Chains A and B, each alone.
Chain A
Amino acid sequence: MKTHCLVTIILFSLLVSGCAGLLRHEGSSDPRDPWEGTNRAIFNFNESVDKTILKPLAQGYEKNVPQKMRMHITNFFSNLSDLMTAIQHALQLDFRSSTESATRFLVNSTVGILGFNDVASKFGVAKTDEDTGQTLGRYGVSTGPYVVLPLFGPSSVRDGLGGIVDLFANPLNDIARDTETKVAVNALKGVDARARVLSAEQAFEALAFDRYVAMRSAYFAIREAQIED
């Protein structure tokens, strides 16, 4: 519960500071990013957190945890996201995809032993990803300006708000009983996600002359591709 409040406070203060930024007008290079100045400041903060904490953790994780084990952990979190995705598909009235995601969740949770193995993919039930932001989009809610969230990274006003809902509804909250376990499990989820993009580092470095702009372009492009599917 505490973490939720914290996130809400962070997001709210961000919106306020974002609006303040808008009033100052920051001469943005992209019309979708009117709060560029504020966003850049938060982006730089995130980069330094990544450099000093998250990336070293992810590197250590990759080095010390065997690849097989890491795959099981990735599968475990991915399985929980399938449950969320099934709900989102249903909310979008896409019952076929919803059934597929639900099937994945059921098969992987049982045959795949609590989701540690992705058997469903081997049976040819492909993974999809949907979140509240995408569902809101399906109902015509526009994304709103681009925002960089502290610690969570690139987002938009709509998807940031959707992200709060997703955090509340995260099945991890029901699995982990006490706060310490919750923090630990969520931290592992973060490190796992970070470790998976370590190999893309060189590519990103080469793609980015201005890391902020490259990250923003990548966010828009990938988000668009997600919503299209």
Chain B
Amino acid sequence: MFIKLLITMLLGSFAQFSAAETAKPEDVISSITLEIINEIKSKPDLASGNLGSINQLVDKKVMPILDFEKMTSLAVGKEWRSATESQKSSLMKVFRQLLLLTYSGSIKFAEQAKVQILPPRGKRNKKNVIVKTRVSVPGRQAVPINYRMKMTEGGWKIYDLNVLGLWLVENYRVQFSQIVSSKGINGLIKEIDEKNRKLMSKSNS
């Protein structure tokens, strides 16, 4: 009995271990995009842009595959290191909301979207890769969406994404560094928060 249990446990952990080892970054992207698109198809209030429902979806599906602290720290730039713990957590909170509002407008296209994952080319880094995809919606030119991913203890995690050539975190870094240098970290938190409120009032109207 005991041996049986031990074997099952061993096999179980082995299966888990090998899954984490062999899951390619492409597989992570393809399974998550499929899951998200299916979720949007099955829940009409997601497609209509209900922020509360989108928030839940992000918590459930998106956050687990993001290295969100790294994303925020890269967006804030070198001043991140001088921020206090409470400033860091406020930054992550407002930045998360900002990203949510950046993409919530596009969610209505997701229902019809087809995601093609491009095969990796050449020799690649084992810990840090770019996964390239093409997203097509009927009647529109296919949009390239690429992800920067890093191998962490919890598997492959996304830390930047690129739409049409524009890296999201890079885009914010240039603008955030200007704000931080003139208004400090607290000024940046305030400014992102104000931006979020403005976007929320617009998307509600």
Q: B95-123 CB contact bits vs A (8 Å, 1 = yes)?
A: 00010011111100100000000000000
Contact partner of A206 (CB less than 8 A), chosen from B139, B144, B176, B195, is B195
- Let me know if B179 and A209 touch, CB within 8 A: yes
By size class, the interface of chain A is 20 to 34
- Let me know if B199 and A206 touch, CB within 8 A: yes
- Let me know if A213 and B174 touch, CB within 8 A: yes
- Let me know if B174 and A207 touch, CB within 8 A: no
Q: Smallest Cβ distance from B178 to chain A, in angstroms?
A: 7
- Let me know if A224 and B178 touch, CB within 8 A: no
Query: Inter-chain contact count A-B, CB under 8 Å?
Result: 73
The CB with the most chain A CB atoms within 10 A, among B98, B164, B166, is that of B166
A225 to B168, CA, bound (A): 14
* Residues on B with beta carbons closer than 8 Å to the beta carbon of A217: 166, 170-171, 174
- Let me know if A213 and B178 touch, CB within 8 A: yes
- Let me know if A225 and B106 touch, CB within 8 A: no
The yes or no answer to A205 lying at the interface (CB within 8 A) is: yes
Q: A71-B139, A210-B178 are in contact. Are A202 and B166 (CB under 8 A)?
A: no
The yes or no answer to B52 lying at the interface (CB within 8 A) is: no
* Residues on A with beta carbons closer than 8 Å to the beta carbon of B195: 206, 209
A126 to B178, CA, bound (A): 40
Which B residues have a C-beta under 8 Å from some C-beta of A? 98, 101-106, 109, 139-142, 144, 162, 164-168, 170-172, 174-176, 178-179, 191, 195, 199, 202-203
Nearest 6 interchain pairs by C-beta: A225-B165, A202-B105, A206-B102, A221-B166, A222-B165, A209-B175
Q: List 14 A-B contacts (CB under 8 A).
A: A126-B142, A199-B109, A201-B105, A202-B105, A202-B203, A203-B102, A203-B106, A206-B102, A207-B172, A208-B175, A209-B191, A213-B174, A218-B171, A221-B167
